[in-house]
Structure 1
Amino acid sequence: MPLDADVFQVPPGYNAPQQVHITQGDLVGKAVIVSWVTVDEPGTNTVVYWSENSEQKEQAEGKVYTYKYYNYTSGYIHHCTIRHLEFNTKYYYVVGIGHTERQFWFVTPPEVGPDVPYSFGLIGDLGQSYDSNVTLTHYERNPRKGQTLLFVGDLSYADNYPCHDNNRWDTWGRFVERSAAYQPWIWTAGNHEIDFYPEIGETVPFKPYSHRYHVPYRASGSTAPFWYSIKRASVYIIVLSSYSAYGKYTPQYKWLEEELPKVNRSETPWLIVLMHAPWYNSYNYHYMEGETMRVMYEPWLVKYKVDVVFAGHVHAYERS
């Protein structure tokens, strides 16, 4: 879609928060990471929030980050974790200040347990084309849409534009705000998040993605934000990275080896794994790209009886 598409519209007002999105902020769902961008100046780092059952307003303080990519300098990227929330409760939250403050809401999950019904949406490889808008609109209008969205990688496709135009990270953030500000999106990194481009001096993989999309990886003992786990309602979710080292004795390998035995099926009977590149794929595109990772990890997933694996990458639907 062109840069002036209405779904990319910048909110009015000086330094108005934009690209607002949330994700789970801890292991069990009692915290939420609120993220947003301000363009003109850092502004306030504070999130004001309250439950629908109370008029008592609380505050949480976040941190601000910026980064440079080739000839692009980001806006001020805010990440603020709201902690000690009550389960199964609707909260309102406000970012910004004065005439340009913006209000949103979210609902926390039920307490982790075996008999807790919960629904998830699933999107991957979204991008920012006209078809992307059809996809997101279809999800939003579905009367049975998920309470949380599992995103299996490939967000903005900024690397499809000249010099990985990072303005396309901004347009994508504004595009998905209409959903991602109201329900947690659980992030998985895909190949379009790598942004490794040494010809223009960009040699740090995942630089834009890791600055913009924070996840609670430390809560599950991970050493990097590209592989981590969370519990949500009756589900244990493990996120893996198809594009980080996964061979024997690598950090991801050692983490997964220690993580799978921790899953208590009497507490979380569902075990879901998210990744970007599928291990099984009969399509012409990306055929057998996940084979080496499959050889490494599939025996573990079989041993620990993983219920379902969701992947993206291949732009065609297939299940086995």
Structure 2
Amino acid sequence: MELSHLALVCAAIAFSSIFVVSQAGITSTHARVSEPSEEMSLETFPPPAGYNAPEQVHITQGDNAGRAMIISWVMPLNEDGSNVVTYWIASSDGSDNKNAIATTSSYRYFNYTSGYLHHATIKKLEYDPSKSRSRCSLHIRYYSDLGQTYASNQTLYNYMSNPKGQAVLFVGDLSYADDHPNHDQRKWDSYGRFVEPSAAYQPWSWAAGNYEIDYAQSISETQPFKPYKNRYHVPYKASQSTSPLWYSIKRASTYIIVLSSYSAYDKYTPQNSWLQDELKKVNRSETSWLIVLVHAPWYNSNNYHYMEGESMRVTFEPWFVENKVDIVFAGHVHAYERSKRISNIHYNITDGMSTPVKDQNAPIYITIGDGGNIEGIANSFTDPQPSYSAFREASFGHALLEIKNRTHAHYTWHRNKEDEAVIADSIWLKKRYYLPEEETA
């Protein structure tokens, strides 16, 4: 199978809105209804017609280097041949077909039994030989906290209507099944059908959010992340991780690290040890861009979930500055916010040095928990806007990061507006490792 690479596309950006500007940054006054979004019913996404038809198809990168793909699907019956993926080189006549055999499992949760969950890994995929990893362009979409509402539907189809996206990085909170009685597992099935028009054709990579924990002692469900880990496989072993909740992948010229806000991360824990070792492996001459995904934001000027990521920030932020991480994407807060390049790594309890300061070696922190979930918009920003906050808006939407080359990338955030997405925030980014210079929106 040949992995095609989309050509670089440049676009003129029209930018218009209403803002309140302070010395800190911009707080958009765009008004979005704050009531919870209306949930789409289970009947909106029925099982596909036909005998033992595969459904909930999704693909994700299947190794660290990008030469494998995990194909996942669900079937009601576990019959002979239902666990096989057949594939071939795109330019061939099909005579060189190959098969990949899936692992198959199912799980029980309270009074629900899943269908048969198949995960097949296709290996030794071919790169485009004309492309050097270090110089590859790449267009990545980001969103989080999607759920299954009519607002979620608008976010997904706004994204799909733009042909630029080549992959999706999803920063946690998928189905919101646990917002329903007994963590209604049928919502995991309907979610898989909902996102299939995108997830079956472009690789999605996930970070786990709090809604993936699915811990419910009242119904004797005490295995955290059970539905998520059964349904969504990731290539964690390829990066020597001991858990699918933290792992890394390389995609074109980008090194992507996924962390877990809801697993232990202090000193001597597996996640802490893994990250310390993983950062040493990043070769900036090969993968010049370094991006991190984590569900709970470290810098958040919204009263919702305020400072929930603080202990993780204190643990890992010095490493991010030392290794010149370019961007950290988070979800959890149901609004949008982009920070300036700042750090707060000089905290000392005796002299009170605990204020974020400008730091050109630090990441930009982006909260993208605005997918459209059932709980509605987080419309309670702190006032005044803190100095580290560059732009914030209480709206639903998604983001696009266009990696142009080893030194420059263009980032845009697309607000949901009626039947289209409108660019409401944008900035040209400079690679921290090569160009630790000030950037302008």
TM-score, normalised to structure 1's length? 0.91
**Map 1:228-307 → 2, pairs under 5 A:** 228-307=247-326
Give the CA deviation at 1:42. Answer: 4.6
CA deviation vs aligned residue, 1:91-150 (integer Å, no higher than 9, x gap)? xxxxxxxxxxxxxxxxxxx86621111110111010001111000000000132x20100
| Aligned 8 A contact 1:281 1:287 in 2 | yes
| Aligned 8 A contact 1:42 1:76 in 2 | no
The correspondence for 2:51, drawn from 7, 10, 14, is 14
Please state whether the residue corresponding to 1:255 is helix, strand or coil: helix
| Aligned 8 A contact 1:22 1:180 in 2 | yes
Cα distance in 2, alignment partners of residues 121 and 175 from structure 1: 17
Q: What residue identity is the alignment partner of 2:155? A: T
Name the Cα RMSD after superposition. Answer: 1.2
Q: Which has the greater radius of gyration?
A: 2
Q: What residue identity is the alignment partner of 1:316? A: A
CA deviation vs aligned residue, 1:50-102 (integer Å, no higher than 9, x gap)? 1221122111111101110000101000000000111149xxxxxxxxxxxxx
Say yes or no: does 1:137 pair with 2:157: yes
Corresponding residue of 1:59: 99
Q: What residue identity is the alignment partner of 2:88? A: W
Give the CA deviation at 1:306. Answer: 0.1
Say yes or no: does 1:46 pair with 2:84: yes
| Aligned 8 A contact 1:14 1:40 in 2 | no
Give the structure with the higher percent helix: 1
Cα distance in 2, alignment partners of residues 207 and 67 from structure 1: 8
Cα distance in 2, alignment partners of residues 273 and 82 from structure 1: 26
CA deviation vs aligned residue, 1:143-176 (integer Å, no higher than 9, x gap)? 32x2010000000000000000000000000100
Say yes or no: does 1:2 pair with 2:38: no
| Aligned 8 A contact 1:42 1:64 in 2 | no
Cα distance in 2, alignment partners of residues 208 and 165 from structure 1: 11
Please state whether the residue corresponding to 1:114 is helix, strand or coil: helix
Q: 1:226 to 1:220 in 2, by over 3 A?
A: same
| Aligned 8 A contact 1:112 1:231 in 2 | no
Cα distance in 2, alignment partners of residues 255 and 65 from structure 1: 28
Cα distance in 2, alignment partners of residues 162 and 88 from structure 1: 48
TM-score, normalised to structure 2's length? 0.66
Q: What residue identity is the alignment partner of 2:214? A: D
Give the CA deviation at 1:271. Answer: 0.2
| Aligned 8 A contact 1:28 1:112 in 2 | no
Say yes or no: does 1:79 pair with 2:119: yes
Q: 1:264 to 1:37 in 2, by over 3 A?
A: same
Give the CA deviation at 1:38. Answer: 0.3
**Map 1:39-188 → 2, pairs under 5 A:** 39-43=76-80, 44-54=82-92, 55=94, 56-88=96-128, 113-144=133-164, 146-188=165-207
> Which segments of 5 or more consecutive residues in structure 2 lack a partner in the other structure?
1-39, 340-441
Q: What residue identity is the alignment partner of 1:87? A: Y
What is the percentage of aligned positions where both structures have the same residue? Answer: 63
> Which segments of 5 or more consecutive residues in structure 1 lack a partner in the other structure?
90-109
Cα distance in 1, alignment partners of residues 131 and 48 from structure 2: 35
Please state whether the residue corresponding to 1:131 is helix, strand or coil: helix
Corresponding residue of 2:427: none
Q: 1:111 to 1:63 in 2, by over 3 A?
A: farther
Cα distance in 2, alignment partners of residues 262 and 48 from structure 1: 34
Corresponding residue of 2:70: 33
Say yes or no: does 1:23 pair with 2:60: yes
Please state whether the residue corresponding to 1:4 is helix, strand or coil: helix
Please state whether the residue corresponding to 2:249 is helix, strand or coil: strand
Please state whether the residue corresponding to 2:320 is helix, strand or coil: helix
Q: 1:123 to 1:299 in 2, by over 3 A?
A: same
Cα distance in 1, alignment partners of residues 66 and 225 from structure 2: 26
Cα distance in 2, alignment partners of residues 198 and 179 from structure 1: 34
The correspondence for 2:329, drawn from 274, 286, 310, is 310
Please state whether the residue corresponding to 1:247 is helix, strand or coil: coil
| Aligned 8 A contact 1:15 1:38 in 2 | yes
| Aligned 8 A contact 1:226 1:239 in 2 | yes
Q: Select between 39-48 and 265-274 the one with higher mean Cα deviation.
A: 39-48
Please state whether the residue corresponding to 1:280 is helix, strand or coil: coil
